[in-house]
Chain A
């Protein structure tokens, strides 16, 4: 049933937001603390739980995935209702924060991917799997 997926998603979201509120009260912060993140973890956990018991029906998946697929359009709608006029007054903050964060992250990618030594490139992996497939074909006695 498709509604079971939508309901599961709604329950996880409501529970996550509630736990986030509770966590906020517990930490003495007048805010929701990580409610969305908690809800995501709940959803991953329930997916694993349902999958293990073979309860993951097509309808259930559809109910959740439909909303996941709508996330970019919803973000577009969210962007369209922001107070951009006010944001424009702080222009340089945006440019400096974005460019700076980007450059720092590019630098860290270079550093981290070199830290563990070199690893196989996509080309090498693909070539290897081609060779393996060829070998398996020959081993199976396929003359072609």
Chain B
């Protein structure tokens, strides 16, 4: 009986992954709504559940690919693999409104630039301070401090080890979670009450989930303005982190 169920799951691995991830998303949104009163975005909770599952999967199987090493959950490996990940991230660019984006103007562009470079440099320095002194690892962890998308995209492009990619995702996710929780607390002190500062905020903070979660908890009306610049953030980070920033790090530390 249980063998038959196992067979259905392994023979339809990708469908199993859709079902499992869907259930995790549903559960996360329920936790977000009822336990945190919407303060922590459901997507952030889902990602934390994913990372936690990967931890227990890794402990259980002794493998390097989290829950994807468990045969019935192998489809998670395809669903979250490089092919579909890049496909879905590119698709989000479709929502960018160029006309509105132009209104953000110079200050939005400055915020985007600083929001990429400043966390990157800080993250790379912290990585180096903890012994990750090779250019690929420094770049990947620095990129993770930009967003949890830029981190793994950069790490995959540069051929970083899975452990370093996991560190970079964890850094980005923790940052996103802290943005969601911290934004309503600091909003008053950083002048976050108008569209312009919301665009600056989106450009600097990155992650759409962090920004939209943080702004939703502060003032719902600010969400689209922040998300507008934030959607550029990931694209910009994916463009410059594995290229210009990596070359700069390599030129500085060598190898």
Interface size on B, residues (CB 8 A): 112
Say if the beta carbon of B239 comes within 8 Å of chain A.
Answer: yes
* Bound form: Cα–Cα A71–B235 in Å: 14
Contacts of B162 in A (CB 8 A): 82-83, 86
* Bound form: Cα–Cα A37–B239 in Å: 5
Name the interface residues of A80-99: CB closer than 8 Å to any CB of B: 80-90, 92-99
A106 engages B88 (CB within 8 Å)? no
Nearest CB of A to B199, in Å: 9
A87 engages B170 (CB within 8 Å)? yes
Say if the beta carbon of A36 comes within 8 Å of chain B.
Answer: yes
A108 engages B118 (CB within 8 Å)? yes
* Smallest CB gap from A79: residue in B: B50
A76 engages B25 (CB within 8 Å)? yes
Would you give the 0/1 interface string for A20-34, flagging 1 where the beta carbon is closer than 8 Å to chain B? Answer: 100100010111111
* Bound form: Cα–Cα A70–B111 in Å: 28
Residue among A65, A66, A80, A123 with the highest chain B CB neighbour number at 10 A: A80
* Bound form: Cα–Cα A114–B192 in Å: 10
Question: Quick one: which of B118, B191, B243 contacts A110, CB cutoff 8 A?
Answer: B191
Q: A44-B98, A94-B174 are in contact. Are A81 and B65 (CB under 8 A)?
A: yes
A82 engages B169 (CB within 8 Å)? yes
* Smallest CB gap from A80: residue in B: B50
Contacts of B126 in A (CB 8 A): 93, 96-97, 100
* Smallest CB gap from B53: residue in A: A80
Interface size class on chain A is 35 or more
* Smallest CB gap from B24: residue in A: A76
Question: Quick one: which of B169, B170, B192, B238 contacts A36, CB cutoff 8 A?
Answer: B238
* Bound form: Cα–Cα A17–B21 in Å: 27
Interface of A is mostly: helix
A36 engages B197 (CB within 8 Å)? no
Say if the beta carbon of A139 comes within 8 Å of chain B.
Answer: no
A33 engages B157 (CB within 8 Å)? yes
* Bound form: Cα–Cα A123–B192 in Å: 12
Contacts of B91 in A (CB 8 A): 9, 43, 64-68, 70-71
A97 engages B145 (CB within 8 Å)? yes
Say if the beta carbon of A77 comes within 8 Å of chain B.
Answer: yes
Say if the beta carbon of A116 comes within 8 Å of chain B.
Answer: yes
* Bound form: Cα–Cα A120–B165 in Å: 42
* Bound form: Cα–Cα A38–B238 in Å: 9
Say if the beta carbon of B227 comes within 8 Å of chain A.
Answer: no
Say if the beta carbon of B204 comes within 8 Å of chain A.
Answer: yes
- Name 22 interchain pairs, CB-CB below 8 A, sorted by A: A9-B91, A30-B159, A36-B90, A36-B153, A40-B90, A44-B93, A44-B98, A64-B94, A68-B88, A71-B88, A71-B92, A72-B209, A80-B51, A81-B65, A81-B80, A82-B152, A82-B169, A83-B162, A96-B126, A101-B122, A108-B118, A112-B114
**Chain B interfacial positions (CB closer than 8 Å to A):** 17-18, 21-22, 24-25, 43, 46-47, 49-55, 57-59, 64-68, 73, 76-77, 79-81, 84-96, 98, 107, 110-111, 114-115, 118-119, 122-123, 126-127, 130, 132, 141, 144-146, 148-149, 152-153, 157-159, 161-163, 165-167, 169-175, 178-179, 182, 186, 189-197, 200-201, 204-205, 209, 219, 221-222, 235-240, 242-243, 246-247
